[in-house]
Amino acid sequence: MKKDKGKQEFLSLLTEWRRDFHRHPELSGSEKRSSAIIQTALARMGVEYQTYSGHAGVVGIIRGRQPGPVVALRADMDALPIHEDSKEAYRSVYDGVMHACGHDAHMAILLGAATLLSRSPDFSGTVKLIFQPAEEAAPIGGAQAMMDDGVLESPAVDAIFGLHVWPELPTGEIGIRSDAMMAASDRFMVKLFGKGAHGAMPHQGIDAIEMMTDVIQGLNHIMNRQISPLEIATLNIGTVVGGERYNVVPKEVTLEGTVRTFGDSVRQEIPKRMKRVLEGIAQAHAGNFTLDYHFGYPSLSNWEKPFEVVVEAAQSVLGSEHVHTSPDPALGGEDFARYLTRVPGAFFWLGCSGSGKGNYPLHNSGFDIDEDCLPIGAELMVQTALRALDFYQQSARLQGDEIRLFTKSN
């Protein structure tokens, strides 16, 4: 993308927004400053917007010159409880909080799309700009709260699109799949209960840490031997807390972890098998347990026609050779998937690696992006929205075709 004066000014504008968001990251449920910045920016553009009493979400509305379909574009807002390892001037000013997942870029990109659309609303229909809080707040997340507040209604959304900056791809490229792209993300907590005793007399107690070692092996056994190797599924234990003192038989241990799956049948089966393993181990040790299992974000599977719309838009902006339509799926969870259970839509990965940036993975303390991806993302969102509006405008004139066209790929 040649950086003429206009494009350079646009890049500078988006970079300024992104760096301001990056310097002031806010955790899930606390995105008040980010919300205020977004509201101010939309107001300066002359874009009407709506806020909510129960959360920091913002929805901008850009109406075209003629009535027509409604297409939504979504960005997430929240940061992560990670200490940033950076010497950049725009590093986080809050110790222990950083935008390690690129949501600062997502907000800047969507504000950039709003800028372009509001300058020339020469289209039929309406574009909704959804700035969503609490994407990182699994297993519930902010998408459900936005939908509960009617973000997909009044006017009703015909299709929704979103993106995520992706350090595995270079700037100027995107990845998108026509089917399952990101995994269902579930969360669990296991508490193991034994009996405390003096460490010199372990026979008088029930060792919860001994139980834990069997539980970890048992849970791994489920994934290694009870789940078909043709299924994509992982189970990870992220935290283990237990014990009171070096010379005391531990009476309680807590394990927390996550399960990632693509198929719904295996997703439903895993907690049943976990309970069975826990019952056997607890009985063998004469202990007890609780299993608190939460089904979180569903798997993200793009709809067929919206997928095609994104591909066509990206090919027009980037060239066909820079649009990858069969990348490996990712086991990361994404709250955007909830919208896709209600309305057609598609999600894509935006390359953000270049200029010495994008060398660290998402959720890493060193994560950063090549900011040249920002105007590319904004242009892609705009072209996707315009093509989707055009498609839905035309399809509305075709009787009987909507059911066929608005189905998910298998």
Domains in the chain: boundaries: 5-183+299-405, 184-296
Is 78 tagged catalytic? yes
For the stretch 101-160, pLDDT in tens is 999 999 999 999 999 999 988 999 999 999 999 999 989 999 999 999 999 999 999 999
Q: What's the CATH class of domain 184-296?
A: alpha beta
* Entry pTM: 0.92
Asked about 135 being catalytic, the answer comes back as yes
Active-site residue identified among 135, 252, 370, 379 = 135
| Average pLDDT of every residue of the chain | 94
pLDDT the model gives residue 398 = 57
Third-level CATH fold of 5-183+299-405: Aminopeptidase (3.40.630)
Residue 402: pLDDT above 50? no
Predicted confidence (pLDDT) at residue 71 exceeds the cutoff of 50: yes
pLDDT in tens, 240-264: 999 999 999 999 999 999 999 999 9
Quick check: 407 pLDDT over 60? no
Q: CA 226: distance to chain centroid?
A: 29
The one catalytic residue in 78, 104, 136, 335 is: 78
Checking if the pLDDT of 403 tops 60, the result is no
Q: What percent of the chain has pLDDT over 70?
A: 96
